[in-house]
Amino acid sequence: MTNNQRPSTIDHRPPTTDHHTLWGGRFGKGPDPRFWALNASLEVDRRLALHDVAGTRAWVRALGRAGVLTREEVAALLQGLDRVEAEFREGTFAFQPTDEDIHTALERRLKELVGEPALKVHTGRSRNDQVVTAFRLWMREALAHLEEAIRDLQEALLHRAEQDLDVIVPGYTHLQQAQPILLSHWWLAHFWALQRDRERLGDLFPRVNRLPLGAAALAGTTVAVDRRALARDLGFDAPLPNAWDAVSDRDFVAEFLFVAALLGVHLSRLAEGIVLFTSREFGFLELDDAFASGSSLMPQKKNPDAFELARGQSGVLIGLLTGLLATLKALPSAYDKDLQEDKAPTFRAYDLLTALLPVLADALRTLKVRPQRALDLLDPGLLATDLADYLVAQGVPFREAHEIVGKALRLAEEKGLALPDLPLEDFQRLHPAFGEDVYRVFDPKAAVARRRVEGGTAPQALRVQMEQARQALQTARISPSPTQAQGGAS
């Protein structure tokens, strides 16, 4: 449905007295056209159409149970709502320039379709509880879809880890070579960050899944509706306990944007690694042509644009979060029109991530690894820690061993040699515990294999970790119940 980045497709025109507004009675004249265009939110909130239909259906049934609507009126309205839903789904719903927002459009169309009973549908309801009900219904689905997209990227990372289990690469801290690791270790590091993002979405779900409807404007409706039954009807866990809070609470939006921003940060960190490692200077990863782009000037260029966009868009996501928090900061009165600004950033974050995640997943699935290039990059001094561990194994205290290896490194440097090429006499002059077997330390494969502690980079430890990762993927954090899924979050 609509992307709020697009230029307006709606020709906003202010209503006159014979048009349907939800509030025209006390006004002596129609709104100024410029104010009308500013105030109208249809461009953004038309995306809630199916969710607003679902919320309205449940409200109609609640009004029926409360005796406010007759059985015939309920039947007529539900039928009308089915028609409206079909029109939305088929894309035949004709928005009018005078439709202020999705709620106005829905009620206006309902009136055209069923007449008289449509004038009763808003009994005991306010757009304040209506809009946030629809928004929560939308978000339930959005969380499930986003979770799926994250899981897909996790699968790609896990698949890479399985494939690259024999690829040794330099591991960096401070962007300086630190210790050799298996490439799988690096892929899985990013897997677990995404797992936490997915868990956060799951944690958020119960706070989204609460019912505002029945709160009316701020004080609670005067209609004797059973809010618990209404909650069940819409698949919500329970009604929100306070009507004022129910219409003003946008914590779930802020939380969503935080999860989106942190996910963006994780994607950006992964992306930065890919950008570096695909550069000529590192060069042990190469993107598939389908996921790279060229330069208009320099024919040789192959640029990692997808990952640069991930890095760049993480900045946008952070901005969306801070923007919403600033909007919410000083709202004094349950509902203020400022709250209308909650949806655009949310849709933007959702659209951005659901476009980005599958591209990154397939870019990872298709990239090529150059194991020899990675080996060539390994600094010969990279196994200095292992050399110290060697001495420790001979009973030398670690602090002393660290010092001795430091001296060996300096000596090698003075002689213009790599550490593994230092003659045995030199080693032994530094400490008698050095023996012939010292040279066996300088095997990156053996070094990697020594890290077999749980969480370490040894192949056997990584196999355990990959099994944990497979298990983690099996648990869906959010499983939309059949009562949900009225629309499709897109």
Closest separation in Å from C-beta 91 to ligand ARG? 22
- Which two three-digit tokens encode residue 456? 């370490």
Closest separation in Å from C-beta 106 to ligand ARG? 12
Distance CA 212, CA 404 (A): 68
Is 174 a known active-site residue? yes
Nearer to ligand ARG, 23 or 280 (CB): 23
Closest separation in Å from C-beta 285 to ligand ARG? 45
Give the end-to-end CA distance of the chain in Å, rounded to a whole number. Answer: 6
Closest separation in Å from C-beta 127 to ligand ARG? 4
Closest separation in Å from C-beta 217 to ligand ARG? 7
Nearer to ligand ARG, 45 or 164 (CB): 45
Q: Considering all CA atoms of the chain, what is the largest pairwise distance in Å, rounded to the nearest integer?
A: 102
Q: Binding segment for ligand ARG among 3-11, 124-132, 156-164, 391-399 (CB under 6 A)?
A: 124-132
Window 374 to 393, contacts with ligand ARG (CB under 6 A): none
Among 81, 121, 131, 357, binds ligand ARG (CB under 6 A): 131
Nearer to ligand ARG, 23 or 67 (CB): 23
Site of tokens 């461009």: 43
Distance CA 127, CA 223 (A): 16
Supply the angle between the helices 102-114 and 49-65 in degrees, to the nearest 10. Answer: 60
Among 101, 164, 197, 386, binds ligand ARG (CB under 6 A): 101
- Tell me the backbone φ, ψ of residue 169, rounded to 5 degrees: -130, 160
Instruction: State yes or no: residue 138 binds ligand ARG (CB under 6 A).
Output: no
- Which two three-digit tokens encode residue 403? 């010092």
Window 17 to 46, contacts with ligand ARG (CB under 6 A): 41, 45
How far from 448 is each of 166, 319, 382, 445, CA to CA, in Å? 10, 41, 12, 5
Q: Which listed residue (174, 296, 333, 481) is catalytic?
A: 174
Distance CA 446, CA 457 (A): 11
Q: Binding segment for ligand ARG among 123-131, 202-210, 315-323, 432-440 (CB under 6 A)?
A: 123-131
Nearer to ligand ARG, 102 or 448 (CB): 102
Window 313 to 342, contacts with ligand ARG (CB under 6 A): 335, 339-340
Window 35 to 94, contacts with ligand ARG (CB under 6 A): 41, 45
Closest separation in Å from C-beta 32 to ligand ARG? 17
Report yes or no: 402 and 385 within 8 Å, Cβ to Cβ.
no
Binding letters toward ligand ARG, positions 284-303, x by CB under 6 A: --------------------
Closest separation in Å from C-beta 172 to ligand ARG? 47
CA atoms within 13 A on the CB side of 217: 5
Closest separation in Å from C-beta 344 to ligand ARG? 10
How far from 272 is each of 39, 203, 304, 308, 436, CA to CA, in Å? 41, 28, 10, 8, 42
Asked whether the CA dihedral 366, 371, 376, 379 is positive or negative, the reply is: positive
Q: Binding segment for ligand ARG among 126-134, 162-170, 269-277, 286-294 (CB under 6 A)?
A: 126-134
* CA 152, chain centre distance (Å): 12
Nearer to ligand ARG, 96 or 303 (CB): 96
Distance CA 275, CA 282 (A): 10
Among 21, 98, 128, 184, binds ligand ARG (CB under 6 A): 128
Among 127, 136, 185, 311, binds ligand ARG (CB under 6 A): 127
- Tell me the backbone φ, ψ of residue 115, rounded to 5 degrees: 70, -140
Supply the angle between the helices 343-366 and 127-163 in degrees, to the nearest 10. Answer: 10
Closest separation in Å from C-beta 8 to ligand ARG? 16
Phi-psi category of 195—alpha, beta or left, where left has phi over 0 and alpha has psi -120 to 50? alpha
Distance CA 133, CA 66 (A): 20
Is 268 a known active-site residue? no
Nearer to ligand ARG, 108 or 477 (CB): 108
Nearer to ligand ARG, 85 or 100 (CB): 100
Nearer to ligand ARG, 84 or 396 (CB): 84
Instruction: State yes or no: residue 108 binds ligand ARG (CB under 6 A).
Output: no
Nearer to ligand ARG, 188 or 253 (CB): 253
How far from 268 is each of 99, 112, 353, 400, 443, CA to CA, in Å? 40, 50, 12, 40, 33
Nearer to ligand ARG, 178 or 325 (CB): 325
Closest separation in Å from C-beta 45 to ligand ARG? 5
Nearest to 261 by CA among 200, 327, 344, 189: 200
Distance CA 84, CA 93 (A): 7
Q: Which listed residue (8, 279, 295, 490) is catalytic?
A: 295
Tell me how many residues contact ligand ARG (CB under 6 A): 9
Distance CA 76, CA 431 (A): 94
Asked whether the CA dihedral 226, 229, 235, 240 is positive or negative, the reply is: positive
- Positions marked active-site: 174, 295
Site residues (CB under 6 A) for ligand ARG? 41, 45, 101, 127-128, 131, 335, 339-340
